[in-house]
Each structure stands twice: as C-alpha cells, then as structure tokens.
Structure 1
C-alpha cells in the first residue's frame, strides 16, 4: 500500500494565516504557498498508509481529552545559525502546545518519533532563503501580534507535489461519542498557567 507523509499542526486562523503566508512568499520562500501557516505539533512523519485508521483514532482520543486554550503570537525569533529559520514567537499557549505534542507523540502511540531539536512552538515565516531575506523577515514582523482561542488541531498529508493538504480537523472535547472533555485536562491547566515569556 505504500507510505504517506503526515504532519499534525494548529492552523493559524484567518485573517492571520493568509497574511503571514503572503508575507513568507514575499520574502522569497518558494515553499510558502504549499505550507498553510501553522504551529507544528508533529513534524513531517512517514508512515505506512494502512496505519491511517489507527492514527486517526489516536488523534481523536487526544483531541477528545483536551480543552481549548489561548494562543498569542508576538514579535520574531530565529533558530540561526543552528537552523535557517525565522519565526513569529508563540508568547501565550506554548505550554498547551508542548503538552499536546507530547500526547500526540506518546511512546505507546502510532506517531512516536524522535525530534531533531527540542520542541519549541513557533510559526515559521522564512526558511532556507538568503540571509538578507531572513533579516528582512525578522525586522518586518518584529512588531507583529495576533491572538485567538485554539480549539483543535488538524492532520495534513504532503502530496507528491510538496503541497500540504488538510485531511481532517480534530476539535477539542468532542470524541467519537461526543462526550465533553473532563475538567482538569492538560489544556485546562495549560490555559490557566501559560504566561507570556
């Protein structure tokens, strides 16, 4: 049956998502139009296609037990020189993202994988372009700010054309049975304790 390349992420909602995508393309990042603006939870992961039902069930279970939390983006950061990336910082909601990605990559689950770098939630706005263009992205978005309530995440598949397409959304607190999530779930705690850093 072959393999598929999957990713799990929190979409940056409109109008912020399209605007950041346009800016990323404007900085000269050719990949911008194939990558919806997002905060990564599970990075690109190649899996056997016949494992998709198991993966979907896992994502549903994780989402069902999670609660919505506030997300706020503000200012820019970079992973240079370690990695050629400029990003918009997640200043509120980082703890919720970190807990969520940990549950999605649970050692007992179907999406277990090692990360190349420690998890650091962010929104990429430039990747692998010239240093001058990276500097421009860093300064252009230095005063950028956006906020919303994160109420779920989505599963994406990368096509042979390199474009990422959404397969399904997973709203928080609505499992297969429609039973609301219990109070005191990890995201409740994250929402209550996350502070701008």
Structure 2
C-alpha cells in the first residue's frame, strides 16, 4: 500500500494565515505557497498508508478530550544558528500546544516519534533562505500580533508536488469522529499558486 507523509498542526485562521503566508513568500521562501500557516504538533512523518484509520481514530480521541484555549502571536524569534528558521512567537497558548502535542505523540499511540529538537510552538515565516532575507523577515514582523481561540487541529498529507493538503479537521471537545476536509482540495486555495 506504500507510505504517506503526514503532519498534524493547528491552522492559523484567516485573515492571519494568508497574511503570514504571503509575507513568507515575499521574503523569498519558495515553499510558502505549499505550506498553510500553522503551529506544528507533529512534524512531517512518514507512515504506512494502512495505518491511516488508526491515526484518525487516535486524533479524534485526543480532540474529543481537549478544550479550546486562547492563542496569541506577537513578535519574532529564530532558531539560528541551530536551524535556519525565523518565526512568529506564540506568546499565549504555548502551554496548550505543548500539552496537545504530547497527547498526539503519546508513546502508546500511532504517532509516537522522536523530535530533532525540543518542542517549541511557533509559526514559521522563513525557512532555509539567505541569512540576509531571514534578517529582513525577523525585522519586518517584529511588531506582528494576532489572536484567536484554538478550537481544534487538523491532519495534513504532503503530496508528491510538495504541497500540504488538509485531510481532516478535529474539533475539540465534541466527541464527534471528525470533520472531513474537501476531498483532494489543497489546504487552502493559495497553496497551489506560485509567485
């Protein structure tokens, strides 16, 4: 049946998601249009496709037992020199994100995996571009702010074209199985546009 590359994340809602995606593209990050703006819970992970039903059931169970929490982004940070990333900081909601990713990556569950770095919730706005361009991103978004209530998360699959597409949404505290995304639709319409 083969393997699929999955990720689990909290989508940054509109209008903020598109704003930050466009800014990321503007800094010269060519991957921006294939990556919806998000806070990662599980980074890209290759799994056997036959495990998808088990993964979906696990995510539905985690979401059903979780409650909404406030999220606020403010200012920038960077993982340089360890990793070529500039991000917008999660200044409220980091504890909720950390608890949530711990449950999603539960060692007894199907998405247990080691992380390359300690978990640090953030919203990437530049990755793998020139140092000068990353400096521009760091300065340009230093005063950026956004806030919303996080009410769930989503499962994404990376296509062979490199674009991440939403497979399913998992609203918190509903006890419902989940909300399917539109079949075959990109995670948002800008995902297929190129600069």
**Could you tell me the TM-score, scaled by structure 2's length?**
0.90
Deviations 1:20-71 (A, max 9, x none): 0000000000000000000000000000000000000000000000000000
C-alpha distance in 2 between matches for 1:177 and 1:4: 21
Deviations 1:102-161 (A, max 9, x none): 000000000000000000000000000001100000000000000000000000000000
1:172 paired residue number:
172
2:153 paired residue number:
153
1:68 aligns with 2:68: yes
C-alpha distance in 1 between matches for 2:177 and 2:98: 26
C-alpha distance in 2 between matches for 1:72 and 1:176: 27
After superposing on structure 2, the runs of 4+ consecutive aligned residues of structure 1 that deviate more than 3 Å are none
C-alpha distance in 1 between matches for 2:157 and 2:177: 26
2:42 paired residue number:
42
Q: What's the offset of the Cα at 1:174?
A: 1.2
Equivalent residue pairs, number: 178
- Structure 1 portions without partners, runs of 5+: 179-197
C-alpha distance in 1 between matches for 2:129 and 2:16: 22
Residue correspondence of structure 1 range 1-197 to structure 2 within 5 A = 1-176=1-176
C-alpha distance in 2 between matches for 1:5 and 1:19: 26
C-alpha distance in 2 between matches for 1:151 and 1:55: 20
In structure 2, the CA distance between the partners of 1:135 and 1:77, relative to structure 1 (3 Å rule), is same
Q: What's the offset of the Cα at 1:175?
A: 1.8
**Could you tell me the TM-score, scaled by structure 1's length?**
0.89
C-alpha distance in 1 between matches for 2:105 and 2:65: 15
Q: What's the offset of the Cα at 1:176?
A: 3.4
- Structure 2 portions without partners, runs of 5+: 179-195
Q: What's the offset of the Cα at 1:177?
A: 7.1
Aligned CA RMSD, in angstroms, stands at 1.0
